[in-house]
Amino acid sequence: MIIDRLFKEVEDKGMVCIGLDSKLEYIPEELKNKYQDTGEIVFQYNKLIIDSTHDIAAVYKPQIAFYEAYGLQGLTAYKRTLEYVRHAGSLSIGDVKRGDISSTAEMYGKAHFEGDFEADFITLNPYMGFDSITPYLPYLESGKKGLFVLLRTSNPGARDIEYLEADGKRIYLHVGDKLAEMAKDYIGKCGYSSLGAVVGGTHTDEAIEIRERYQDVFFLIPGYGAQGATGKDARLYLKDGNGGVVNSSRGIITAYAKHSDGWERFEDYIRQAVLDMREDIGFEG
């Protein structure tokens, strides 16, 4: 199953998930001057990052909004990036956060698990109801695809809805309990399910409870670095250094910009940022 492959990637390479939130403002002028086409600029930027990190990063997560913003050229870059991740022998998470009625969800599944935008995992928003998730489950049954469903997110606004209580329990725990129940049908040999959850690393008060409550659920953990979560915070959501991947976007993909020779040593600085993050979280491989 796909989750067994992700578990092995974490075991071998560490728990870093590189968020490819590739804004033009982040890209070196030298690279922008080299190409005319926006899509080509973005893709070449991503390619350099992937080439310099694929042996030390568990997975790549392009956020589709950063590509949609550049129209057809941007979506072409998104497609080519996912293909290049596959070519590099790595795994991808299409961060699309879809959440719509079942007939629409079925078409989203075709787009992001079969079509031009095919990824190994995608992210979903469950707050329209769990019938917005069920159309994706046949892909999990195949063993070839996986999901990360929003459980408790890293943004400050998470408290607006996710922390409300119903029947004496926070909404995000209602969501998590239902996901954990569904996840049991897709458990891999590693002991985790291909139906995972997005759990923000910025809220540490509930970390131990969430990890213990959802033993079989693999976590996608955003919030590290620019959003405030530390390596110590992220470790709370892992089990023996596995059971989740920790995402960093700006902290890695703009690491070169802190140095006067950033472009000349672009790949070195990107790679070092990943190595530093692995060490901070506690990877011992």
Q: Which residues pair with 178 in a beta bridge?
A: none
Bigger pLDDT: 227 vs 173: 173
Coil, helix or strand at residue 50 = helix
pTM of the entire structure?
0.96
Per-position DSSP letters for 76-128, written without gaps between them: HHHHHHHHHHHHTT-EEEEEEEE---HHHHHHHHHHHHTSTT--SEEEE--TT
Q: List, for residues 192-246, the tens digit of each pLDDT value.
A: 999 999 998 877 788 889 999 999 999 999 988 767 788 999 999 999 999 999 9
According to the model, what pLDDT value does residue 223 have? 86
Instruction: Say how far residue 245 (Cα) sits from the centre of its chain.
Output: 8
Alpha helix stretches (DSSP H) within 142-265: 158-161, 171-183, 207-213, 231-235, 250-253
> Domain 2-281 carries which CATH code?
3.20.20.70
Backbone angles phi, psi at 266, to 5 degrees: -50, -55
pLDDT value of residue 177: 97
Is residue 97 annotated as part of the catalytic site, yes or no? yes
Q: Do the Cβ atoms of 39 and 22 come closer than 8 Å? A: no
Domain ranges for the chain:
2-281
Is pLDDT of 46 > 80? yes
Count of beta carbons in the 10 Å neighbourhood of residue 148: 27
- Is the pLDDT reported for residue 153 higher than 90? no
Catalytic residue among 8, 23, 32, 97: 97
Rg (CA), the chain: 18
Query: Can you tell me the mean pLDDT for 23-37?
Result: 95
**In sequence order, what are the residues at sequence separation of 6 or more whose Cβ sits closer than 8 angstroms to the Cβ of residue 180?**
213, 214, 216, 217
Distance CA 188, CA 220 (A): 17
Q: What distance in Å separates the CA atoms of residue 172 and residue 217, rounded to the nearest whole number?
A: 14
Mean confidence (pLDDT) of the chain: 95
* % of the chain with per-residue pLDDT over 90: 86
What distance in Å separates the CA atoms of residue 181 and residue 86, rounded to the nearest whole number?
Answer: 31
